[in-house]
Amino acid sequence: MEYINLGNSGLRVPKYILGTIPFSGTNGFEATGNIKEDDARKMVDIALEAGINMFDTANLYSKGDAERVLGAAIQGRRDEVLLTSKTGFQLGDNPNDGGASRINIETSIDRSLERLGTDYLDLYFVHLWDGQTPIEETVETMTNLVKSGKIRYWGVSNYSGWALARTFSIAERSGYIPPITQQIYYTPEAREAEYELLPAANELGIGSMIWSPLGEGLLNGKIGRNKTAPEDTRQGGGWPEPWVQDHERLYQVIDALEEVAANHDATIPQIAYTWVKDRPNVGPIVIAARNEQQLKEDIASFDIQLTQEEHDRIESVSRPAPLYPNWHRAMNSLEKGSPSEIPYLQGYTKSMGIED
């Protein structure tokens, strides 16, 4: 397994991180999986054997039960693993039980640490943007958690480009500790992060960690034009996310993934993981599995090497529309782009039929 620095920090993390949304499968998360403690231990064993020593969770997943299952799975080997968790989603009726306020963050971290059976997290995320809380309050609170030893680093998730930049600039200007990473949704079908989030993070020295590269089950190989999601999958079990703008485009992406998969005797999920991990500005990706077989297949995708033609085949059918100001910049000032954004601008010129 390859290890990379997470953003502009000294934290070395594996390129693949094991996500735990399938752990427990309770409290509204039944459609995501039902991995209990014994099976979770086996999956941690498999991950560690493959060099994956980082595990991602959140207080949202099964409303804390996923953290409990993960905590049991790593018991006795805390020093071997890197742990992340998150807070921000409203989990109860208390108006302060959610968001990026000091009261919620400080309460949430203590509860997460207790459920995970540890006294610190290696990485802690603000799970969503909270426009009702001053950014200074959030930044100061996370800085204090680092200084107190409860967390080593912090990050944000599901922010917009301007919110990411504003958060970073306030932390940097005020002498606080800036976030080192963002966790964002990015798949072969959903590439909106290329407009702002991926290049902005790279320019700021913030690592981009990708959640759900398979589109919350859309790219599991069981969905297509003439294939309905089975009931024992997230998409067949009533899971509401993600929003799909154009289903025909989704099917074209699945077709391309299927064609490339056939070239490698691989599965559609394996090719989706491979394509995402090799994209510009992408840091580690969070993989997830419902059972040991799926996990082993996910891990095996790391060694798949796509040809440039195969990579471009998938890229061409899923390229985002060149929305303003991107079409204007690609048309008139491509050479003025930064290295972080030029790959995307070059794609827009192809969409517009312009030779770069």
How far from 46 is each of 37, 66, 71, CA to CA, in Å? 14, 18, 16
First to last CA, the chain: 36
Joined together, the tokens standing for residue 238 give 């009533």
How far is Cα 200 from Cα 283, in angstroms, rounded to an integer?
Answer: 13
Give backbone dihedrals phi and psi of 83, rounded to 5 degrees, phi first.
-115, 140
Cβ-based burial of 271 (10 A; exposed 0-12, middle 13-18, buried ≥19)? buried
Joined together, the tokens standing for residue 323 give 């929305």
Joined together, the tokens standing for residue 46 give 């498999």
Active-site residue, from 61, 153, 185, 195: 61
Give backbone dihedrals phi and psi of 152, rounded to 5 degrees, phi first.
-100, -35
61: annotated active-site residue: yes
Question: Which positions are annotated as active-site residues?
Answer: 61
